Amino acid sequence: MKTFKHTSLWAMALLFCTLLFSGCASFKITTPDEMAEVGPQDKAYDYRALTVRGVVLGVRVISQGKYDDVPRANEVFWVDATRQRMRTLGGYALLSEEPVQSANGHSGTRLKFGRDQRGTTYWYWVTLFVTEDNIHVIDAGGRREHFEESQSVIEQALASYVVRD
């Protein structure tokens, strides 16, 4: 009976570790000193950090082929889908688009958008890295003047991004 209990505990611990690491293994990012990471209560994002002026950086890793509405597709497709959605439905203005590389050399694309909302101008950047299994969506946004102040910090965080899967 005791052995069975031990085995069960080990199995649960193993399962927990597997789940824990499978969720975190797909990327790595270094939070700059000027930003603070949001706690584990944040369910909407895999990672989110913000500056004291409210410029936020978020990461979502979405599994391709796992869900019906996330088919497997390449980077060109997902970048195009993102661009179209933001411009046609979101009303965001596409300010620029540029190729980027992750810290470990993975190629991606960064779309820079702008939008006015309630009389305030916001900047919103979306960086996409697409692997065989995942779509890495790293977005950063905030009021334009605050974003401009923190731009180097955001760029530092983005430059530290490692695509693991």
C-beta neighbour count of 20 within 10 angstroms: 10
User: Which of the stretches 13-21, 102-110, 133-141, 150-158 binds another protein when contact is defined by CB under 8 A?
Assistant: 133-141
DSSP 87: I
User: Counting contacts by CB under 8 A, is residue 29 touching another protein?
Assistant: no
Residues 6+ apart with CB under 8 A from 110: 97, 98, 99, 100, 125, 126, 127, 128, 158
In the complex with another protein, which residue's Cβ is closer, 92 or 129? 92
Residues 6+ apart with CB under 8 A from 105: none
Binding residues for another protein, how many (CB under 8 A)?
Answer: 42
User: Which of the stretches 16-24, 100-108, 138-146, 154-162 binds another protein when contact is defined by CB under 8 A?
Assistant: 138-146
Strands lying side by side in the sheet with 47-50: 36-37, 47-50, 56-63, 134-143, 120-130, 107-117, 93-101
Which residues, numbered 58-117, are part of the site for another protein (CB under 8 A)?
A: 58, 60, 62, 69-70, 81-82, 84-95, 114-117
| Of 75, 60, 74, nearest in space to 108 by CA | 75
Q: What's the closest the beta carbon of residue 70 comes to another protein, in angstroms?
A: 6
Q: What's the closest the beta carbon of residue 60 comes to another protein, in angstroms?
A: 7
Binding stretches for another protein (CB under 8 A): 38, 41-44, 48, 50, 54, 56, 58, 60, 62, 69-70, 81-82, 84-95, 114-117, 121-122, 124, 126, 135, 137, 139-142
